[in-house]
């Protein structure tokens, strides 16, 4: 059995709407000051070789932690329209970082740079699917035509 398939089975990972596989792991207490959101939520997230995490956006910061496998490239379009990448991994000499922060409002997706990558993602305040926007190719090309190549790679095609 491939290591990625073993992790999917052993960690009870399920398909994620953005692509890849995930399982909710931790959820912080809900403070009295914000009865709608826990302080944080944390998931395991896995991409296999040909998987893509399609461009999406959250209303809270998301902190990514590398666990094992190949490095992931996190592709980001900042609110200003600037496109940039960060590589999440353990090869510091190659510029990889074991933790990467994606600020709220950033449009982002990811790709794996090998067979598979297992990471952790923590959102604070806690994640809620109501705060999750998954973009189509058409939506992003209208807003950011200068990023056509990466948008075509990391968006769901319009029907």
At residue 159 the predicted structure's pLDDT band, cuts being 50, 70 and 90, is low
Model pTM score: 0.93
Contact 123, 145 (CB under 8 A): no
As a whole number of angstroms, the distance between CA 107 and CA 73 comes to: 14
Of 151 and 158, the one with more pLDDT: 151
Superfamily of domain 3-29+42-154: Jelly Rolls (2.60.120.10)
Q: Residue 35: pLDDT above 70?
A: no
Q: What is residue 32's predicted lDDT score, i.e. its pLDDT?
A: 64
- 3 upstream amide cis, omega within 30 of 0: no
- Domain boundaries of the chain, sorted by first residue: 3-29+42-154
* pLDDT above 70: residue 33: no
The reported pLDDT for the residue numbered 131 is 86
Residues contacting 147, CB < 8 A, separation 6+ = 77, 83, 140
């Amino acid at each position: 059995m491939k290591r990625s398939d073993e992790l999917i089975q052993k960690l009870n990972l399920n398909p994620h709407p953005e692509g890849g596989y995930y399982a909710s792991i931790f959820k912080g207490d809900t403070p009295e000051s914000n009865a709608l959101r826990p302080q944080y939520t944390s998931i395991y997230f896995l991409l296999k070789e040909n998987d893509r995490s399609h461009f999406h956006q959250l209303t809270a910061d998301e902190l990514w932690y590398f666990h094992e496998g190949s490095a992931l490239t996190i592709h980001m379009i900042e609110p200003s329209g600037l496109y940039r990448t960060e590589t999440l991994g353990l090869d510091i000499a190659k510029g990889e970082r074991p933790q990467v922060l994606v600020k709220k409002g950033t449009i982002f997706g990811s790709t794996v740079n090998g067979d598979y990558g297992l990471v952790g993602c923590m959102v604070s305040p806690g994640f809620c699917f109501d705060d999750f926007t998954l973009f189509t190719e058409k939506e992003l090309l209208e807003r950011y035509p200068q990023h056509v190549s990466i948008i075509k790679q990391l968006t769901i095609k319009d029907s």
